[in-house]
Structure 1
Amino acid sequence: MTAAPTVPQQPAGTAEATGSSSARAWTVTALLVLFMMVNFADKSVLGLAADEIRADLHLSATQFGLANSAFFLLFSVAAVVVGLAADRLSPKALLLVMAVLWSVAQVPAAIGGGLAVLVVSRVCLGAAEGPAFPVAQQATLAWFPNHRRNLPGALITLGVTLGVIVSAPGLSWVIQHHGWRAALWVLAAVGLVWALAWAALGADGGHRTGPQDPTRREAQQTGPPSALPYRRILASRTWIGVTLAYFTSYWSVALMLVWLPSYLRNALGYSADEAGTVVIAPWTIGAVALLAQAGITGRLMRRGAGSRRARGWVGGWLLALGAACCLAVPLADGTPARTVLVALGFGLGGSYATIAATTVAELAPPSRSGGALGAMNAVVTAAGLAAPAVVGALVDAQGATGYRDAVFLSGLLLAVGATASFLLVDPARDLARLGR
Structure 2
Amino acid sequence: MSDIEVVPAHPTALEPAPGEGRARAWVVTGLLVVLMMINFADKSVLGLAADPIRRDLGLSATAYGLANSAFFLLFSVSTLAVGFAADRVRPRWLLLGMALLWSLAQLPLALGGGVALLFASRILLGAAEGPAFPVAEHSALSWFTDARRNLPSALILSGTALGVIVSAPTLTWLIDHHGWRAAFGAVGGAGLVWAAAWLAFGSEHRGARKPKRPPTRTPAGPTPASDIAPVGYRRICATRTWIGATVAYFCTYWVVALSLVWIPSYLHDAVGYTTASSASLVAGIWAVNTVVILGHGALAGRLLRRGVEGRWVRARFGALALTVAGLAAFALAFLGRGPAFALVLVLGIGFAGVMVTIAVTTVAQLAPPSRRAGALSVMNAVATLSGLIAPALVGHLVDAHGAGGYREALELTGVILLVGALAAATLVDPARDARRLAR
* TM-score above 0.5: yes
> Where does residue 180 of structure 2 map in the other structure?
180
Name the CA distance, whole Å, in 2 between partners of 1:141 and 1:227: 17
**Contact 2:11 / 2:88 at 8 angstroms: preserved in 1?**
no
State the 1:431 CA deviation: 1.1
Partner-residue secondary structure (3-state), 2:272:
coil
Q: Do the aligned partners of residues 207 and 410 (structure 1) sit closer, same or farther apart at CA in structure 2, a change above 3 Å counting?
A: farther
> Where does residue 340 of structure 1 map in the other structure?
343
> Where does residue 265 of structure 2 map in the other structure?
262
Name the CA distance, whole Å, in 1 between partners of 2:214 and 2:18: 16
Partner-residue secondary structure (3-state), 2:87:
coil
Q: Do the aligned partners of residues 258 and 17 (structure 1) sit closer, same or farther apart at CA in structure 2, a change above 3 Å counting?
A: farther
State the 1:333 CA deviation: 4.2
Name the CA distance, whole Å, in 2 between partners of 1:52 and 1:22: 47
> Where does residue 243 of structure 1 map in the other structure?
246
**Counterpart among 403, 413, 422 of residue 410 in structure 1:** 413
> Where does residue 89 of structure 2 map in the other structure?
89
Q: Do the aligned partners of residues 195 and 88 (structure 1) sit closer, same or farther apart at CA in structure 2, a change above 3 Å counting?
A: same
Is residue 2:377 matched to residue 1:374? yes
**Counterpart among 391, 394, 401 of residue 391 in structure 1:** 394
Name the CA distance, whole Å, in 2 between partners of 1:11 and 1:139: 10
State the 1:315 CA deviation: 1.0
> In the alignment, residue 327 of structure 1 is paired with which amino acid?
F
Name the CA distance, whole Å, in 2 between partners of 1:241 and 1:430: 12
Structure 1 stretch 75-84 or stretch 111-120: which is displaced more? 111-120
Is residue 2:291 matched to residue 1:288? yes
Name the CA distance, whole Å, in 2 between partners of 1:400 and 1:267: 5
State the 1:213 CA deviation: 11
* TM-score w.r.t. length of structure 2: 0.93
* TM-score w.r.t. length of structure 1: 0.93
Partner-residue secondary structure (3-state), 1:144:
coil
> Where does residue 219 of structure 2 map in the other structure?
none
CA deviations 1:231-253 (Å, max 9, x no partner) are 11111100000000010000000
**Contact 1:394 / 1:402 at 8 angstroms: preserved in 2?**
yes
Name the CA distance, whole Å, in 1 between partners of 2:338 and 2:270: 9
Partner-residue secondary structure (3-state), 1:349:
coil
Name the CA distance, whole Å, in 1 between partners of 2:215 and 2:30: 29
> Where does residue 202 of structure 2 map in the other structure?
202
**Contact 2:11 / 2:370 at 8 angstroms: preserved in 1?**
no
Name the CA distance, whole Å, in 2 between partners of 1:216 and 1:53: 59
1:8-407 counterparts in 2 under 5 A? 9=10, 16=16, 18-19=18-19, 21-206=21-206, 226-407=229-410
> In the alignment, residue 43 of structure 2 is paired with which amino acid?
K
Partner-residue secondary structure (3-state), 2:413:
helix
> In the alignment, residue 360 of structure 1 is paired with which amino acid?
V
State the 1:206 CA deviation: 4.2
Partner-residue secondary structure (3-state), 1:5:
coil
Name the CA distance, whole Å, in 2 between partners of 1:405 and 1:167: 28
Structure 1 stretch 189-198 or stretch 348-357: which is displaced more? 348-357
Partner-residue secondary structure (3-state), 2:203:
coil
**Contact 1:17 / 1:205 at 8 angstroms: preserved in 2?**
no
Name the CA distance, whole Å, in 2 between partners of 1:333 and 1:55: 27
CA deviations 1:142-176 (Å, max 9, x no partner) are 11111110100000000000000011111001111
Name the CA distance, whole Å, in 1 between partners of 2:11 and 2:80: 22
**Contact 1:143 / 1:206 at 8 angstroms: preserved in 2?**
no
State the 1:368 CA deviation: 0.7
CA deviations 1:34-55 (Å, max 9, x no partner) are 0000000000000000001000
Alpha-carbon RMSD across the aligned residues, in angstroms, is 2.4
Partner-residue secondary structure (3-state), 1:368:
helix
Q: Do the aligned partners of residues 114 and 308 (structure 1) sit closer, same or farther apart at CA in structure 2, a change above 3 Å counting?
A: same
State the 1:15 CA deviation: 8.5
**Contact 1:96 / 1:199 at 8 angstroms: preserved in 2?**
yes
> In the alignment, residue 419 of structure 2 is paired with which amino acid?
V
Name the CA distance, whole Å, in 1 between partners of 2:93 and 2:61: 39
> In the alignment, residue 273 of structure 1 is paired with which amino acid?
A
Partner-residue secondary structure (3-state), 1:286:
helix
CA deviations 1:197-218 (Å, max 9, x no partner) are 0000001114779xx999899x
Q: Do the aligned partners of residues 133 and 81 (structure 1) sit closer, same or farther apart at CA in structure 2, a change above 3 Å counting?
A: same
**Contact 1:208 / 1:366 at 8 angstroms: preserved in 2?**
no
- Structure 2 unaligned blocks of 5 or more: 217-222
**Contact 2:229 / 2:438 at 8 angstroms: preserved in 1?**
no
**Contact 1:75 / 1:131 at 8 angstroms: preserved in 2?**
yes
- Structure 1 unaligned blocks of 5 or more: none
> Where does residue 422 of structure 1 map in the other structure?
425
State the 1:18 CA deviation: 4.0
Q: Do the aligned partners of residues 35 and 356 (structure 1) sit closer, same or farther apart at CA in structure 2, a change above 3 Å counting?
A: same
Name the CA distance, whole Å, in 1 between partners of 2:38 and 2:278: 21
Name the CA distance, whole Å, in 2 between partners of 1:37 and 1:350: 15
**Contact 1:8 / 1:367 at 8 angstroms: preserved in 2?**
no
> In the alignment, residue 341 of structure 1 is paired with which amino acid?
V
Q: Do the aligned partners of residues 431 and 168 (structure 1) sit closer, same or farther apart at CA in structure 2, a change above 3 Å counting?
A: same
Structure 1 stretch 64-73 or stretch 228-237: which is displaced more? 228-237
